[in-house]
Amino acid sequence: MTTSTTRAADPAASGPSITRGRPAASSSRSGSGGVGAERPSLVATGVLVLGALYSLIPIVWVLFAASKSADELFSTFTFAPSTFLLENVQDLFAYRDGLFLRWAGNTVLYAVGGALLSTLVSAAAGYGLALFDFRGKKLFFNLILAGVLLPAVILAVPQYLLFAQAGLANTYWAVLLPSILNPYGIYLARIYAGASVPREMIEAARTDGAGELRIFSRFAVPMMMPGLVTVFLFQFVGIWNNYMLPYIMLGDDSLFPITVGLSTLMNQGASQPAMYTTVITGALVSIIPLIALFLLLQKYWQSDLTGGAVKG
């Protein structure tokens, strides 16, 4: 428990500190002398390689499968490449006048737009909770904590009914608005704000006559930034992964995100197997940018994600 609290006090630093922490740690370990002799272990390496292979199989498979024509998909060995990739991608983009591109655009709107709004709201709330004392603060924070553990299942049906009554079901708002609230993001932002924004600096800015909103946007947000990137990524993945919300809320397929769109194509595949090629190509096209994004932003995933959560 003591370790968790020390880590909780310092999670914001772990984003950037990781990059300098890693080489330092490894050099100190290897430099610590002949302890244990560091013989490479075949078993240890082998297990890691097996894990890596298991993780890569579906991703490698989709690369090959997307290069096949509809006939080849069921007739040739799956890891035998073919030459139809470009045609498949063209077919995908041509499907119903570019519906797939529309889904891609919607996905960006929901996931990037929703996560940006969510991060902003979380940052403000976390900052307010960490640096201000006001009545009801404890109650609000406890409600947020309860929200972290709340299973989304209880929200799906009533959210739909309420949005339907407000005339907002089957609109962009129906998916965007519920995505703004992220209790876990607020919780993380509070920790980041407490750890990275010094109170003295805020007092100094106040004495200089800076307004509260200006202090927040000019000083606090940049200081919290590494942590906020993590909050953003969390919510981005959360929205992009959430199948049930758009599936329930949306009826018009021009509003679908990629996930719901591909699932409807998959259902059509049961009666027209040629659709499977479109589904597979769609899957490939949509995971490539995500994988690229993940590789680029790797270090932000290594900050201590749950360490701070073990407090209550």
Partner 1 sequence: MSAPTTTTASSLRRRTDRFGYVFIAPAAICFLAFLAVPIVYALYVSFRREQVVGLGPGAGGRTEVWAGLGNYAAVLADSEFLASALRALVYGLVLVPTMLGLALLFALLLDSRRARLRRLARIAIFLPYAVPAVISSLLWGFLYLPGTSPFHFLAEAVGGGLPDVLSPQLVLLAIANIGIWGGTGFNMVVLYTSLRSVPSELYEAATLDGCSELQTAVRIKVPMILPSLIMTCVFSIIATLQVFAEPMLLRPLTNSISTTWSPLMKIYRDAFTENDIYTASAGSVLVALATFVISFGFLRLVRSQAFAQEER
Site for partner 1 in 111-150 (CB under 8 A): 120-122, 124-125, 127-129, 131-134, 137, 140, 143-144, 147, 149-150
- Candidate segments 81-89, 91-99, 224-232, 257-265, binder of partner 1 by CB under 8 A: 257-265
Nearest distance from C-beta of residue 86 to partner 1, angstroms:
21
The 72-91 contact track toward partner 1, x by CB under 8 A, reads -xx--xxx------------
Closest CA to 239 of 176, 284, 169: 176
Binding of residue 24 to partner 1 (CB under 8 A): no
Give, to the nearest 10 degrees, the angle between helix 183-196 and helix 114-131.
Answer: 50
- Residue 94 or 291: which CB sits closer to partner 1? 291
Q: Which residue in 19, 27, 38, 94 binds partner 1 (CB under 8 A)? A: 38
Nearest distance from C-beta of residue 94 to partner 1, angstroms:
21
Residue-wise DSSP of the chain: -HHHHHHHTSHHHHHHHHHHHHHHHHHHHHTT-STTTTPPPHHHHHHHHHHHHHHHHHHHHHHHHTTS-HHHHHHS-TTS--S-HHHHHHHHHHTTTTHHHHHHHHHHIIIIIHHHHHHHHHHHHHHHHHH---TTHHHHHHHHHHHHH--THHHHHHHHHHHHHTT-TTSHHHHHHHHH--HHHHHHHHHHHHHHS-HHHHHHHHHTT--HHHHIIIIIHHHHHHHHHHHHHHHHHHHHH--HHHHHH--STTS--HHHHHHHHHHHHTT-THHHHHHHHHHHHHHHHHHHHHHHTGGGGGS-TTGGG---
Nearest distance from C-beta of residue 158 to partner 1, angstroms:
4
- Residue 54 or 97: which CB sits closer to partner 1? 54
Hey, what are 139's tokens? 């109650």
Nearest distance from C-beta of residue 64 to partner 1, angstroms:
9
Binders of partner 1 among residues 174 to 193 (CB under 8 A) are 177-178, 180-181, 183, 186
**Total of chain residues touching partner 1, rule CB under 8 A:** 116
The CA distance from 166 to 126, in Å, is 30
Q: Which residue in 142, 212, 217, 218 binds partner 1 (CB under 8 A)? A: 212
- Candidate segments 84-92, 98-106, 221-229, 268-276, binder of partner 1 by CB under 8 A: 268-276
Hey, what are 152's tokens? 């989304």
Hey, what are 254's tokens? 């021009």
- Residue 44 or 86: which CB sits closer to partner 1? 44
Q: Which residue in 56, 201, 204, 274 binds partner 1 (CB under 8 A)? A: 56
- Residue 93 or 173: which CB sits closer to partner 1? 173
Binders of partner 1 among residues 280 to 309 (CB under 8 A) are 280, 283, 286-287, 290-291, 293-295, 298, 301-307, 309
Binding of residue 206 to partner 1 (CB under 8 A): yes
- Candidate segments 39-47, 84-92, 93-101, 223-231, binder of partner 1 by CB under 8 A: 39-47
Binding of residue 270 to partner 1 (CB under 8 A): yes
